[in-house]
Structure 1
Amino acid sequence: MKNKKKILFAVLNWGLGHATRSWELINNLLNEGNEVILASDGVAKEFLMKEFPQLKMFEVPSYNIQYGEKGNILPLIKNGLNTQIAVKREQVWLKRFLKKQKVDLIISDNRYGMYCSEIKSIIITHQLNIKVPILENVVNAQNHFWLNRFHEIWVPDHENTLSGELSQPIPSKLMNKVKEIGWISRFKKSDTASEELILAIVSGPEPQKTILIEKLVPILKNLDHKVILYTGNPNENKEEIHGLLTIKSHDSTPEFIKNIQKAKVIIGRPGYSSIMDYWVLQKKMILIPTPGQFEQLYLAKHLFVNHNVTYTQQSLLSFATLRRLLCENRIEI
């Protein structure tokens, strides 16, 4: 980007994944001398405000994404309706914003309503083909309609390694707009030697985030192994120590990078942004898909079949299950 630009960078609040991967792109834009204005909500907004306190931050409408305790199909329908409403509210917000602020470029990390026909608008997403158990054609018709409003579609993957059928084949109407930009992560592979550390990272929407934490804590306490569990709450600063288990609400990026680089194996959700982080660092993974989040189940199976990554469903998670998966990853317990 040779000419300095004023850029609106809008980030979806769906746990911390979209915010953490946007960290790298925002840093790059700032290093190029661009002026960046941020827009988000919820924990994503809290994270970005902590990481970039010098930047202007605007609150934007929430998508209100949730997954029920049983992981059935009803939350999927509700989330679809919430997304429809949020996209319309985003457009209203953006039109008001652009009356007061002039920008040269809009970059949206998975926010479908953050586009303007008169300003170059780019969306970052790997979801060209959404995986759902019902009405998949209808869902993807709507998805493609929204994506087609953007001038460019940036897919964060390299030769379709991680996203599989989610980004290939490219729908014909989007073919000229899609561009692979490689994996984006705030982490870089280092020569730091792995230690005997198990890292568990819980992220994503409630109530399933808390449900997984409550299942993991007693299991991790019983492991005769050093473990750090991150609960993904950037607006808190809590730390608890239970024997070899340390529970942290959040960490600064440098401290988190240090721990993730030391880890022998990472336990966590197969959110796409998380997978990119672990892949870039060449870390072993034990993935636990969010119940009802069908894309995560697809990604876990895709990585299992094509890259020997281990996973288990949350309902099957137990001390015995986790011990077996750790052994499969050559972690002695």
Structure 2
Amino acid sequence: MTLKKRILVAPLNWGLGHATRCIPIIKALIDQQFEPIIASDGVALALLKKEFPDLKSFELPSYHITYPKNGKFFTFNLLKGALKIRRAVKEENRILQTLVETYELDGIISDNRLGVYSKQVPSVYITHQLQVLSGTTTWLSTRLHQKAIKNFDVCRVPDAQGVHNLSGKLGHPSTYAIPTTYIGPLSRFNTTNHNIVYDVMVLLSGPEPQRSLLETKLLAEFKNYNGKVLFVKGLIENKQEVVEEGHITIYNFMTSELLEKALNQSKLIVSRSGYTTIMDLAKLNKHAFFIPTPGQFEQVYLAKRLTEQRLVPSCQQNEFSIEKLKGIESFTGLTNFDAEANYKDLFSLF
């Protein structure tokens, strides 16, 4: 009997995006007769444990990434926490070495976890941010990230390589010295034949307190909306809760299967402009309206880029109102992004 190769999959706990885009990777590993092992922290780990309750899972140190209420202070807040992140990276690398030896790992896939690499086994780094936007410190954040990537054997970008891509200059910088392969967008979802049930689906995600601030604002706004609304808070809790408030159906969270169905049943998606959300909506060819997280330069850039391309309208969080949804038909939506993920390339080192 041939033993299955054990591959550690470790997404960063920064909202839910890194964890959710690892779901199709884990499923593909299982389909190709690998044995995935999960490692993360916080809501990212909680989500993956709900999706894969039978897989081994381990907790890694938290990077303690938080958002200030005032988005203008995001860069300062992140730089202030750099020492904590550095300590967490060092500690997770120590834990990782123990996992490599204890469980005889055959490979590692790290989604933006800087310390999850080993010189003993092939280590793959996944990121769409070869350029890390941080305002006036973009040059520094990019240089530090690229330095960290060099600890890994290879870097894989979840996007198409050509001009018709989703990440723009984030994943396609003009100059980049590290050998990199584009594996195509990653999404856990597929298009299904469901009738449209909801006029709008609100899909929340991301770190606090900005997630809660947007929840409060959108619940107030959509009380006056003339249509059926599905509202998913993005709170990973022990028990799923569903509340009906007139024309609004509110979930605290949805697992992948239910979320896929709900997205397919929804005409318009209102959400953050996180990269994983963009990949998911592109896979489903959806129309959307984006509200980037205040102060998060990556989301602001992605939303602006898609709006300028006349694909998806967007606005700042404090500017949103129901009136902003008028004229959505003049945008083409996230259609014609049909590139499939290349898992053969992603798993080639194993």
* TM-score when normalising by structure 1: 0.93
Determine if the alignment matches structure 1 residue 213 to structure 2 residue 215.
yes
C-alpha distance after superposition, 1:112-141 (max 9, x if no partner): 110112210001110100111122222111
Whether contact under 8 Å (2:19, 2:44) holds in the other structure is: yes
C-alpha distance after superposition, 1:135-194 (max 9, x if no partner): 2222111111001111111100013511100011264420x2x11111110111234343
Where do 5+ consecutive residues of structure 1 fail to align?
none
Distance 1:80 1:288, change over 3 A: farther
Whichever residue aligns with residue 306 of structure 1, its letter is Q
Correspondence for 1:275: 278
Whichever residue aligns with residue 15 of structure 1, its letter is G
Distance 1:190 1:237, change over 3 A: closer
Distance across 2 between alignment mates of 1:158 and 1:172: 16
Distance 1:111 1:133, change over 3 A: same
* Farther off after superposition, 231-240 or 20-29: 231-240
Q: Which of 240, 248, 265 is equivalent to 2:251?
A: 248
Distance 1:9 1:222, change over 3 A: same
Distance across 2 between alignment mates of 1:215 and 1:102: 49
Whether contact under 8 Å (2:204, 2:272) holds in the other structure is: yes
Whichever residue aligns with residue 5 of structure 1, its letter is K
Q: Which of 169, 172, 175 is equivalent to 1:168?
A: 172
* Farther off after superposition, 233-242 or 49-58: 233-242
Correspondence for 2:346: none
Correspondence for 1:225: 227
* Farther off after superposition, 227-236 or 188-197: 188-197
Q: Give the CA deviation at 1:221.
A: 1.4
Correspondence for 1:133: 135
| CA RMSD across the alignment | 1.9
Whether contact under 8 Å (1:4, 1:32) holds in the other structure is: no
Correspondence for 2:33: 33
Count of aligned pairs between the two proteins = 326
Q: Give the CA deviation at 1:279.
A: 0.6
Distance across 1 between alignment mates of 2:193 and 2:182: 27
Whether contact under 8 Å (1:129, 1:167) holds in the other structure is: yes
Whether contact under 8 Å (1:76, 1:292) holds in the other structure is: no
Q: Give the CA deviation at 1:303.
A: 1.1
Distance across 1 between alignment mates of 2:200 and 2:188: 20
Q: Give the CA deviation at 1:10.
A: 0.7
Q: Give the CA deviation at 1:208.
A: 0.3
C-alpha distance after superposition, 1:43-73 (max 9, x if no partner): 1111111110110110001111111111123
Correspondence for 1:286: 289
Whether contact under 8 Å (2:200, 2:228) holds in the other structure is: yes
Question: Partner of 2:215: helix, strand, or coil?
Answer: helix
Q: Equivalent residues in 2 for 1:51-200 (5 A)?
A: 51-73=51-73, 74-160=76-162, 161-169=165-173, 171-174=175-178, 176=179, 178-200=180-202
Whether contact under 8 Å (1:128, 1:170) holds in the other structure is: no
Distance 1:328 1:308, change over 3 A: same
Distance across 2 between alignment mates of 1:3 and 1:319: 56
Whether contact under 8 Å (2:158, 2:184) holds in the other structure is: yes
Distance across 1 between alignment mates of 2:193 and 2:329: 24
Question: Partner of 1:198: helix, strand, or coil?
Answer: strand
Question: Partner of 2:326: helix, strand, or coil?
Answer: helix
Whether contact under 8 Å (2:203, 2:234) holds in the other structure is: yes
Distance across 2 between alignment mates of 1:310 and 1:18: 24
Q: Which of 200, 203, 214 is equivalent to 1:201?
A: 203
Whichever residue aligns with residue 154 of structure 1, its letter is R
* TM-score when normalising by structure 2: 0.88
Determine if the alignment matches structure 1 residue 314 to structure 2 residue 326.
no
Correspondence for 2:347: none
Distance 1:129 1:287, change over 3 A: same
Distance across 1 between alignment mates of 2:33 and 2:226: 49
Distance 1:262 1:304, change over 3 A: same
Distance across 1 between alignment mates of 2:227 and 2:103: 53
Where do 5+ consecutive residues of structure 2 fail to align?
333-350
Whether contact under 8 Å (2:15, 2:207) holds in the other structure is: yes
Whether contact under 8 Å (1:7, 1:103) holds in the other structure is: yes
**Percent identity among equivalent residues?**
38
Distance across 1 between alignment mates of 2:290 and 2:58: 33
Question: Partner of 1:223: helix, strand, or coil?
Answer: coil
Whether contact under 8 Å (1:230, 1:249) holds in the other structure is: yes
C-alpha distance after superposition, 1:180-224 (max 9, x if no partner): 111110111234343442110010000000000000001111101
Whichever residue aligns with residue 226 of structure 1, its letter is K
